[in-house]
Structure formats: structure tokens, C-alpha cells
């Protein structure tokens, strides 16, 4: 009598695992870029750059005052 072989599900498990990982990465990437659509980043950058420019100009004016210009 021929013995009945058990069905090997290794490749099915590997395939489902890979598909789940790809789906998870796509979902996380979509969620990661969600904050960029709100415009909060642009307003924060504009505020930061204006403060840096203000500090830069105040440092230059005090350096000019010290040198007597």
C-alpha cells in the first residue's frame, strides 16, 4: 500500500507572510505621509525660518554696533 503524503503548506505560509508584510508596509507608508497633507509642516518651517532670519539679523546688527559702524 502506498503511504499518503502530508500536504506541505510551507510555500503557502511563506506567500501569505510576504503578502501580509507588503500590505503592512503600504499601509504604514500611507499613514506616515498623512501629516504632510495638512500643511502643518509648511507653516512650522516658515515660522522656524523667520525666527532664524530674525536671530541672524539681530546678531548682525549687534556686531555692527560693537564694531562702531
Q: Does residue 60 sit within a domain?
A: yes
Is there a domain that residue 45 lies in?
A: yes
Residues 5-46 pLDDT 10s? 778 899 999 999 999 999 999 999 887 777 666 777 788 888
Phi/psi of residue 23, nearest 5 degrees: -60, -40
Higher pLDDT, 55 or 15: 15
Residue 68 inside a domain? The answer is yes
pLDDT at 24: 96
C-alpha–C-alpha distance, residues 45 and 22, integer Å: 33
Q: What is the pLDDT of residue 58?
A: 72
The answer to whether residue 31 sits within a structural domain is no
Range of the domain at 60: 39-69
Q: What is the pLDDT of residue 65?
A: 58
The structural domain count of the chain equals 1
Question: Residue 53 and residue 61: Cα distance in Å, rounded?
Answer: 12
Residue 69 lies in a domain: yes
Place of cell 497633507: 37
pLDDT digits (tens, 9 = 90+) for 56-66: 777 665 555 55
**Is residue 15 a part of any domain in this protein?**
no
63 is a domain residue: yes
Percentages helix, strand, coil for the chain (3-state, rounded to 5) are 80, 0, 20
In a domain, 11, yes or no: no
Amino acid at each position: 500500500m502506498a503511504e499518503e503524503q502530508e500536504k506541505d503548506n510551507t510555500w503557502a505560509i511563506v506567500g501569505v507572510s510576504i503578502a501580509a508584510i507588503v500590505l503592512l508596509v503600504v499601509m504604514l507608508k500611507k499613514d506616515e505621509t498623512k501629516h504632510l497633507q495638512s500643511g502643518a509642516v509648511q507653516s512650522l518651517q516658515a515660522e522656524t525660518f523667520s525666527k532664524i532670519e530674525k536671530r541672524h539679523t539681530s546678531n548682525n546688527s549687534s556686531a555692527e554696533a560693537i564694531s562702531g559702524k
